[in-house]
Structure 1
Amino acid sequence: MKLCPWYIALILLPVCLQSQKLPTRDEELFQMQIRDKALFHDSSVIPDGAEISGYLFRDNPKRYFFVVEEDNTPLSVIVTPCDAPLEWKLTLQELPEEASGEGSGEPEPLEEQKQQIVNEEGTELFSYKGNDVEYFVSSSSPSGLYQLELISTEKDTHFKVYATTTPESDQPYPELPYDPRVDVTSLGRTTVTLAWKPTPTSSVMKQPIQYCVVINKEHNFKSICAVEAKMNADDAFMMVPKPGIDFNPFDFAHFGFQSDNNAGKDRNFMPKASSSKLLRQITTKPKVDIQKVCIGNKNIFTVSDLKPDTQYYFDVFAVNAATNMSTAYVGTFARTKEEAKQKTVELKDGKVTDVFIKRKGTKFLRFSPVSSHQKVTFSVHSCLDAIQIQVRRDGKLLLSHSVEGVRQFQLRGKPKAKYLIRLKGSKKGASMLKILATSKFNKQPFPSLPEDTRIKAFDKLRTCSSVTVAWLGTQERNKFCVYKKEVDDDYTEEHKKREQNQCLGPDTRKKKKK
């Protein structure tokens, strides 16, 4: 039977604890312990001078221990909650006489010392409840066995713990400047420029420091640990399946284990409906709207591609590249500026208006016909690529269409109505168009073209210096103008469409092309 690695770890843990020696400042032993990440993950020992990561199940307390061997020892303990508030307390139990340093000098196994304090409360030194990065600092601590107890009453969560008896020399966390605030120095519609004072850890202590900037729309963060927990959030994956609904009790075939329960012998796989539901829970990952950018040792940064009129929260973290431990500046927030309000163009009844729209841009027009009108006609001539047109009457959407070439729309009138026209340009490039709005029936700005607007060239009538072409006529009597242009062999329909402005009339064309 194949076992998962964490299952093996659970079996070996009691054996490890029986032979575990307390971490000391013996440098060779300390370095060996630092490299052994599995030791810290599964052990209840906090090593001196190293940050450990842990995980708490909701309402399940966890206890960690460490020894201070001599009286009057400086002590610093730092607890970093990640994605949920924590309750934690630090208590002290005096060391037994045989471990006071007068004996062999060898520290007792952890299990033996832990057994001695099971029925003794000890002295509570410090307690805290919340989601701040909180410190316990003492310049002169008594010798003894220290217990750190943590619990999360809100949800399952990650956390980090750091303890040291040499806080003056260690200093693995970057120090904040005298003014730790992040300032907004420039604010635009889509950009925000941030600035902050550099950490003394870089300038005075010459430690390798880089800054990481975090942007999100919800709130400020107090640690990179909290940021990473949010970025990696997958609540569906961490959701505990409900017995009898999502799977049968003790049926772990879905997770790769064979069931020892007789009730599961006849079930080699999950029921389809339940299995599909659980699979959706596992694979569905919520979209996390948060961004982290590490920018080296610069202390000014411009955030781009933001949305106008939107509130954002900004955090800066100083990261010690040598220890990978970080400190949070005091974050800030700002609302980007609103989009510049576009001027609405008034359309005059029966008059053609030329409109230019930037790539992906939008223009608004307003038409206020006479109060007694029965119908309204909108004639649109898109000169280049297709454009989108929407017409609203007193806020109600009446039409929404894509227009390429010439289109005409006729709407039923309404007394005292006002019409708002929204034109959206092409994604390919700038758009040009002509538009006419009228409440008069006989006002037709553009000739009515036939459905087939192709021009046919007759091959048999082609000569070295002439080409004969033909097209369908119009019902009304109109004047036709024909233009020619010399093009290269690789000239395609796409080139033609891009260059040809269908709105250019005879007065704007070059005479040599006529």
Structure 2
Amino acid sequence: MCSPEMSRSSDVDVRRTETRHEATHVKARRPGKGGACGHMALCHWALVAAMLCGPARTQRPPGIPGRTAENDVPLQTAAWLAEGRITAIHLPKERPRRLYFTLPKKTSAFSVTVVPCDVPVEWSLMVRTAEDEPPKQQRTYKKSMPEVWWGNSRKNIKVYSNVGNAVDTYRGPAYAPASIYVVKLQSREHSTKVSVYLQEGAGLPKVFPELPPDPQVRVVGVGMSSVTLRWPSSPSVPKVHQSNTSLQYCVLVNLKHNYRGLCAALEALRRDKKIEEVKRQGATLWPTPKAWKQQLGPHRKDVVFPAPVPDGPPELPCVCQGVENTCTVSELQPDTLYYLDVFLLDSSSGSSAAYTGTSARTHQEARPTGTALRDSKPRWVALAPHGGRLLSFRPRGWPPRALLTMQVCSPHQVRVTASGQTQVLAAEIVAEEPVQIWLQGSPSYLIYLENESPATVAEEAIVKIQASSAYHRQAPVLPPLRTVKSYSKLKTCNSVTVGWHGTEERNLYCVYHQQLDSQGGPTGLEQCLGPESRSDTERAVCKYFQDLNPQEAVSTATIGGLEPGTAYLFDVYMVRRFGIAIKYHSKIVRTKKDC
């Protein structure tokens, strides 16, 4: 019944409405079937319609004449734009808003400044003028001059239009004779906020702080957890710093991007529903003066403040620190890219100006040096109970990849943690079985070994570790089982046949044997020894072997020249070109006594 389309109708539509209105009154005077009851029903519906349409009529823009004696508009209820004061309005998506203003007769020039918040805003300025001065008899009614001029206006002039998310100002001469100026605003993306400022006369807008010719924020110092900023002083800041000045510099630090205005920064923080996530990422809005905090209204609880805002000068660094143009932002994370913005806030008027933001990456955290491992050279490391050892390795070639091979040579458990420059790459528990760790993504690596044996074990843990550059190949394959099997049916008085599992990769396998005087076996330390610790007389045979089917990759060897009824210790080593040799579990076999 009272749709917004009625408020956009033309003068012709209004005259038609008045004609229908008169016809309604004529019908109301005709007697119906119900006599007075029919008239009362019409009055009842007219009252309901008045109740429904009443609020919409109060919101009607001045472009729609009402049912008045002269078709004049009650402009007192329109959205007027006050001069010399910032007008903040809510702009719904795809719903234009209009602001109206008039200028005094002696005004020669004026300016209109539109400050979008976080999305581009379409805005235009239109003037509705009258070609002739209205007749004097129309002034007999108690109407304001703008209302009288509006009722006799017939000419619309589009003065200016612009689309963007930056602060935009129109400056120009006043139109004479001018009736009404109309500022139309519209947002296409989503609902937003916009501020409009009207100023009579020439010159820059007086309510906004003035930026210097070069409003660039510069980084003058960077540390692991701090960044020092400096920016040119604003011409609005007095030469002699006064304690009662309403101007304040405020700094915003975040991990996303720079903001073109203070409103956009605040709206971005308000839209973030997870405040704890904002704290974890390090987005920090430095507190503002008390007047600024009051402007945030009911949404100020969504803004993260490190500390309450004091009435006097704040103690925290860069907390809207007055008119000082140097600031050190601290408590930052190492090796992190931050975006830094500076806003000049006028707490007396609620206006602000944004400097051109910058970005800076904090320095990397100092890393411990650790014992360097030589490429492809095995190293023995002794770990005290519940002790640790830090090692480092820098691979050769590109890309910088490394292969770690480790084995614990004693009944202990050792935790190994390998990290690059910024993150942990691997963490595993190593015991008797050899373990390979493939590292990539960093030019250097830190390896930390920690003895995790129970408190009852008082002996040291012995770890054999080797690091090799692996830029030219993938990680090698270890045998699925490291057991050595003897075949009883193939055993004789002077020979023994043994077998072991190989891999699908071609490797050299060497079999060593030695005569035992008793049934004793090898110690834990001997399990980590390679073929370099054995004499040439103990080497029985060496052979290359591979099988593409891992389930059938079993190799055998027959060792002869043995004595009858004698126990021998057999060891098999898988010797690789890169990486430490892998020793199989020792096997004790006794030859037949009677053949």
Give the Å deviation of 1:177.
2.3
Aligned to 1:261: none
1:307 is the counterpart of 2:333: yes
Does the CA-based 8 Å contact 2:91-2:187 persist in structure 1? yes
Does the CA-based 8 Å contact 2:409-2:525 persist in structure 1? no
Report the TM-score, using the length of structure 1 for normalisation. 0.54
Alpha-carbon distance in 2 for matches of 1:422, 1:109: 86
Amino acid at match of 1:390: T
Q: Which has the larger radius of gyration?
A: 2
Aligned to 2:431: 409
1:174 is the counterpart of 2:209: yes
How many aligned residue pairs are there?
Answer: 340
Aligned to 1:136: 170
Does the CA-based 8 Å contact 1:18-1:109 persist in structure 2? no
Alpha-carbon distance in 2 for matches of 1:355, 1:328: 60
1:14 is the counterpart of 2:14: no
Amino acid at match of 1:108: S
Give the Å deviation of 1:11.
6.4
Does the CA-based 8 Å contact 1:311-1:334 persist in structure 2? yes
The 5-angstrom pairing of residues 50-69 of structure 1 reads: 50-69=85-104
Change (3 A) 1:15 1:111: farther
Does the CA-based 8 Å contact 1:99-1:108 persist in structure 2? no
Partner-residue secondary structure (3-state), 2:185: strand
Change (3 A) 1:113 1:436: farther
Change (3 A) 1:343 1:16: same
Change (3 A) 1:137 1:158: same
Aligned to 1:323: 349
Partner-residue secondary structure (3-state), 1:350: strand
Deviation track 1:347-386 (CA, whole Å, cap 9, x = no partner) reads 673343689999xxx9554699xx998944489899xxxx
In structure 1, runs of 5+ residues without a counterpart are 1-7, 20-38, 235-282, 383-387, 401-407, 425-433, 445-514
In structure 2, runs of 5+ residues without a counterpart are 1-50, 63-74, 289-319, 396-402, 451-459, 466-522, 528-595
Alpha-carbon distance in 2 for matches of 1:80, 1:312: 26
Give the Å deviation of 1:104.
9.0
Alpha-carbon distance in 1 for matches of 2:383, 2:107: 87
Aligned to 1:97: 133
1:292 is the counterpart of 2:285: yes
Deviation track 1:193-240 (CA, whole Å, cap 9, x = no partner) reads 111122222215975211111112222222211111111115xxxxxx
Alpha-carbon distance in 2 for matches of 1:189, 1:316: 21
Give the Å deviation of 1:390.
2.6
Does the CA-based 8 Å contact 1:17-1:110 persist in structure 2? no
Does the CA-based 8 Å contact 1:233-1:286 persist in structure 2? no
Partner-residue secondary structure (3-state), 1:75: strand
Give the Å deviation of 1:63.
1.4
Higher relative contact order (CA 8 A, sep 6+): 1
Alpha-carbon distance in 1 for matches of 2:143, 2:404: 100
Partner-residue secondary structure (3-state), 1:70: coil
63-72 vs 164-173, which deviates more?
Answer: 164-173
In the alignment, which of 156, 165, 172 is matched to residue 122 of structure 1?
156
Give the Å deviation of 1:132.
0.4
Does the CA-based 8 Å contact 2:215-2:231 persist in structure 1? yes
Alpha-carbon distance in 2 for matches of 1:336, 1:193: 11
Query: RMSD value over aligned CA atoms?
Result: 5.0
Alpha-carbon distance in 2 for matches of 1:92, 1:210: 38
Alpha-carbon distance in 1 for matches of 2:369, 2:184: 64
In the alignment, which of 413, 437, 461 is matched to residue 463 of structure 2?
437
Alpha-carbon distance in 1 for matches of 2:102, 2:258: 36
Does the CA-based 8 Å contact 1:80-1:132 persist in structure 2? yes
Aligned to 1:147: 182
Alpha-carbon distance in 2 for matches of 1:355, 1:107: 97
Partner-residue secondary structure (3-state), 2:432: strand
Amino acid at match of 1:441: G
Report the TM-score, using the length of structure 2 for normalisation. 0.47
Change (3 A) 1:345 1:381: farther
